[in-house]
Amino acid sequence: MQSDTTHDGSHFNCAHRIPLHLEQTDHFLLSFTARQLLILGLGLTFGYLVGTSFDLSTPGGLVLGAICFFVAMAAAAVFAFVHIRKRDLETWLVVVFLYMTTPRYWIFHQEQEAFVDPIPPKKHHVKEETHLWH
């Protein structure tokens, strides 16, 4: 660690260096990150559940189960390993979702009074006094 004083005792400003390894992802197992292993595990689980839902005793069911399994694994591999402009695909899915759910047209409503009494006050009728001068 560097001292903020020189050998003659005068002070100087030293810049703190930010380690470069903070922006890199940590490898968890066999050079895969924990995120990649989680996504691949979810794809494997989903592919197994969908693939075994078919009748595997028939050749047609076995082929459909294998196709569903490999499609799920391919989708998981794409999500785990593909990055577009240094961002993960799930980040881009959130961006697309927010874009699709944001209204295109904003409708302006003129502000109303803060409180509008739903029941109008009763009008009290005051009888006018009639003066009869006889």
Q: How far apart are CA 132 and CA 33, in angstroms?
A: 103
Domain ranges of the chain: 26-97
The pLDDT of residue 32 is: 86
Condensed to tens digits (0 to 9), the pLDDT of residues 82-121 reads: 988 888 898 999 999 999 998 887 777 777 666 666 666 6
Question: In 46-80, which positions are buried (b, 16+ CB within 10 angstroms) versus exposed (e)?
Answer: bbeebbeebeeeeeeeeebbeebbeebbeebeebb
Condensed to tens digits (0 to 9), the pLDDT of residues 74-93 reads: 999 999 999 888 888 989 99
pTM of the predicted structure, to 2 decimals: 0.56
pLDDT band at 7 (very low <50, low <70, confident <90, very high): low
More confident residue, 106 or 9: 106
